[in-house]
Amino acid sequence: MSQAESPITPDLPLSEPAEPQRRRRLLRRPSFSIGNIDVGAGRSAIGEIPISRLVTGNQISIPINVFHGRNEGPVIWLSAAVHGDEIGGVEIIRRSLSSIDPKTLAGTIVAVPIVNVHGFLNGDRYLPDRRDLNRSFPGSPNGSLAARVANLFMTEIVQRCDVGIDLHTGSDHRTNLAQIRADLDDPQTRDLAIAFGAPLMMHAKLRDGSMRAAATATGSTVLLFEGGEAWRFDRAAIDVAVAGIGRVLGRLGMIENGDSAPDVAPVESRSSGWVRVRRSGIALLDVELGQIVERGQVIATVRDSVGRQLSRTRANRSGMVIGQTQQPLVNQGDAIIHIAELLDVDQSSRSTGSEESP
């Protein structure tokens, strides 16, 4: 073989070029930035959104817990303690997030366990300016403290989300049956209300100044959960809400194998009202939450301090007991029992709204 000749070698199979690591990173889902945190895909983080400063000069902030899924999907917020004394939602959110794995989550969960931080710290339903935060939306960046908190929540949370679940309890020594209040005439909202699976779903008209009204106006789908009472952990209501949130996340395709359907399908109501006592005294209730009552049925008896019967209170409509007072001492005209009229399958879908508070 001459030096000019080269040995013949067989052709070797060519291997596929490896995909550059840099390209792989570019295909990752972008991180989610909010408040003081930047959450990568498939991760969770706890952070805060500054509100203002206390009179001491200390910073006060809204706490947040963000789960940013590895896969694309809806963005949902979970909020509680819009009224500072309604602490049940804090535990509902904690339990709901305990089973979420951001590595398998599709979409993003923005959890806000305490919206009204001032009220929560003071043990008060309202803000220090005595305004009801849930009558202050959408708020203003230059208005009252309530207006500023509402505006902050709208701009930092609501406007970045597709769906919201706002968690509430009864107030003023009243307890509520676990229920969903929503615009049941909107197909998507109705679908999620049914998926939630609370014992009752109430078609509730939007109220000016509420978070639900302001968020709906931006295009968000909003469910409002009511259950239990202020300053108490009602285990039955908490269980319903945790299971319901899991079902909604499953319905939205955010998690796999969401909680199974409830044992009993939700009943629907479009009208409700409170029953008031005719005499002052000590009231003994004869009905329980969730009980079906008939118009004219005795639901409470009022006696004086030595046991003499003063009056018997009767149901002013047929339906389901969805709220009741926990305060035995009553004054003439006090609301003691909340009854929701149930919608028959053949009843007209005409909306009448509901009486949310006495």
pLDDT of residue 14: 42
Residues 132-184: tens digit of each pLDDT: 999 999 999 999 999 999 999 999 999 999 999 999 999 989 999 999 999 99
Do 306 and 197 belong to one domain? no
DSSP 292-314: EE-TT-EEEEEE-TTS-EEEEEE
Whether residues 162 and 50 share a domain: the answer is: yes
74 with 177, same domain: the answer is yes
Residue 251 within a domain: yes
- Using the 3D structure, point to which of 219, 248, 265 is the last residue of a domain: 265
Same domain, 274 and 244: no
Distance CA 117, CA 123 (A): 10
Q: Which of 214, 242, 265 is the last residue of a domain?
A: 265
Q: How far apart are CA 119 and CA 91, in angstroms?
A: 17
Distance CA 96, CA 93 (A): 5
Distance separating alpha carbons of residues 181 and 343, to the nearest angstrom? 15
Per-residue pLDDT at 55 = 87
How confident is the model over 37-90, as pLDDT tens digits?
999 999 999 999 999 998 899 999 999 999 999 999 999 999 999 999 999 999
Return the half-sphere exposure (C-beta side, CA atoms, 13 A cut-off) of residue 181. Answer: 28
Same domain, 117 and 192: yes
Measure the CA–CA gap between 338 and 358, rounded to whole angstroms.
Answer: 9
103 shares a domain with 60: yes
Q: Which of 249, 265, 281 delimits the end of a domain?
A: 265
Co-location of 303 and 172 in the same domain = no
Q: Which domain holds residue 321?
A: 268-342
Domain with residue 188: its CATH number is 3.40.630.10
| Domain co-membership, 231 together with 311 | no
- Distance in angstroms (rounded) separating the CA atoms of residues 306 and 157: 55
Rounded percentage of the chain residues whose pLDDT exceeds 70: 88
Structure-derived torsion over alpha carbons of residues 249, 252, 257, 39, reported in degrees to the nearest 10 = -60
187 found inside a domain: yes
**CATH classification at residue 296:** 2.40.50.100
Domains held by the chain: number: 2
4 domain-assigned: no
